[in-house]
Amino acid sequence: MSMETAFDAIIIGAGPAGTTSAILLADAGWRVALVDKENFPREKVCGGCIAASNLPLLEALGIGDRFQTLASPPLRQVAFVCGDRTIRASLPPYADAAHPWGAALRREHLDALLLERARQCGTHVFQPWTACTVEGDAGEFHCHVRALRNAETRVLTAPVLIDAHGSWQPLQYGAGKPQRHHSPSDLLAFKADFAGANLDPGVLPVLSFPGGYGGMVVTDHDAVTLAFCMRRATLEQARLRYPGCGPNEAAGRWVTGHCGAVRDMLAGAAQERKWIATGPIRPGIRIGRQPQHAFLVGNAAGETHPIIGEGISMAIQSAVLLANMLGPHRENASDPRWQSGMRTEYARAWRRHFAGRIRLAAVFAHAAMHPDICGSVLPLLQRHPGLLGRFARWSGKVRSGPRVGNNRIVGCQ
């Protein structure tokens, strides 16, 4: 690994948002450091669904062909599962003849593809290293990092800092450490993969059950991913109902106990890997809420309820949006006033692109966690299943985002 410690930009987090930022800035001539505390490949609690509007972006990032080779069959249908009832409808195609449908790919594969591409573009990757603290401000950041293998430490410097490492472990500026408090309404996320499940490829079921919501999809290698969110209070109910189970298994049994269709799909299936869990996830808009030192992308900027499956889309597209703005102006990066203006402009553009998705997803999530509400609309959906396709359209599935390689912001259509 290079001993270089001076860069044009430091990016914390090597998920889709961080690696996309690194690829595009490195391609624009920036010296980029990318820091992540995990070894790759690594699993994530994520359904892995990628909307069709992102496929041209993956091609522009240089991983399109490999993605298509690994990914699931095209996602052409959506299903709504509430109790024992399932309603199916066609998903609307994206207005690109070459990429009309999205697909699913587990995060260990997607993240590895993007990280490999970032390295090919000249990004200096520090992994597994953790970002301990950040000092300084726009124009001169000092990021203290530590290797997890041997406790080696370095101080990376750069005029630009990009926070891409998620929402529940914010970067430490200075000596303060944020405090987190548990709440019964906290959303915890769970995921498991199954072989031999009875789910048709290309169908994306959305699940409604008391205290939570989720989704299923046939992903790469014909595995079926079941991923869902559940309130902390609901998990406690599940553990009381299934006293012989650990928390992850109790959560899974709560879902199958309330969704007969899920139980039927998993009947006879073999669980490929143990349950993984994370959280609490904190949906909402964070960008522009308070004075910020760094540019924020991905979940650091704002997080949507996973019910609409737009997390990866927002991660990649927010990184493209920022890189389009920063890329042509490396010579201005050391000017704090320029950065301040750019942060304001970026925050406005980010809200135009993503705030609506986050708010709509919150409405869908609230309804899904209350099957009595969903039950009241099921007769309407049964008469007009095409409404499910409209919901998918409203959630941003076929909405065009920023395009790679422009020196200006390209608004959503």
CA–CA gap between residue 389 and residue 207 (Å, rounded): 16
Whether the Cβ atoms of residue 342 and residue 325 lie closer than 8 Å to each other: yes
Q: How far are the Cα atoms of 16, 168, 261, 384 from residue 317, in angstroms, in the given order?
A: 9, 21, 34, 32
Which run of H or of E encompasses 153? strand 153-158
The 3-class secondary structure across 63-87, one letter per residue, is CHHHHHHHCCCCECEEEEEECCEEE
CA–CA gap between residue 337 and residue 342 (Å, rounded): 9
How far is C-alpha 94 from the geometric centre of its chain's CA atoms? 20
CA–CA gap between residue 223 and residue 272 (Å, rounded): 8
Q: Residue ranges of the alpha helices (H) in 197-330?
A: 232-241, 247-258, 260-266, 311-326
CA–CA gap between residue 246 and residue 287 (Å, rounded): 36
Whether the Cβ atoms of residue 9 and residue 103 lie closer than 8 Å to each other: no
CA–CA gap between residue 74 and residue 94 (Å, rounded): 12
By CB atoms closer than 10 A (0-12, 13-18, 19+), residue 278 is middle
pLDDT of residue 376: 85
Tell me which residue has tokens 């095409």. Answer: 386
Which amino acid is it at 20? Answer: T
pLDDT of residue 410: 35
3-state secondary structure of 212: strand
Whether the Cβ atoms of residue 21 and residue 61 lie closer than 8 Å to each other: no
Helix-, strand-, coil-residue percentages of the chain, each rounded to 5: 40, 25, 35
pLDDT of residue 179: 54
Q: Name the CA radius of gyration of the chain, rounded.
A: 21
Q: Residue ranges of the alpha helices (H) in 28-164?
A: 55-61, 64-70, 107-120
pTM of the model: 0.92
Tokens of 177: 């450490």
CA–CA gap between residue 90 and residue 260 (Å, rounded): 22
Selection from 369, 252, 322, 383 nearest residue 32 by Cα: 322
CA–CA gap between residue 79 and residue 90 (Å, rounded): 9
Q: In this structure, what are the phi and psi dihedrals at residue 179, rounded to the nearest 5 degrees?
A: -100, 135
pLDDT of residue 95: 86
Domain ranges of the chain: 9-73+103-177+283-366
How far is C-alpha 179 from the geometric centre of its chain's CA atoms? 24
Task: Give 328's Cβ-side CA count (13 Å radius).
Answer: 9
CA–CA gap between residue 251 and residue 330 (Å, rounded): 48
pLDDT of residue 413: 30
Q: What is the CATH number of domain 9-73+103-177+283-366?
A: 3.50.50.60
pLDDT of residue 322: 97
pLDDT per residue, tens digit, the chain (413 aa), is 445 799 999 999 999 999 999 999 999 999 999 999 998 888 899 989 999 999 999 999 999 999 999 999 999 999 999 988 999 999 999 988 888 999 999 999 999 999 999 999 999 999 999 999 999 999 999 999 999 989 899 999 999 999 998 765 666 655 545 556 788 999 999 999 999 999 999 999 999 999 999 999 999 999 999 999 999 999 999 999 999 999 999 999 999 999 999 999 999 999 998 999 998 999 999 997 655 689 999 999 999 999 988 999 999 999 999 999 999 999 999 999 999 999 999 999 999 999 999 999 999 999 999 988 888 888 888 888 888 888 888 777 777 778 886 533 333 33
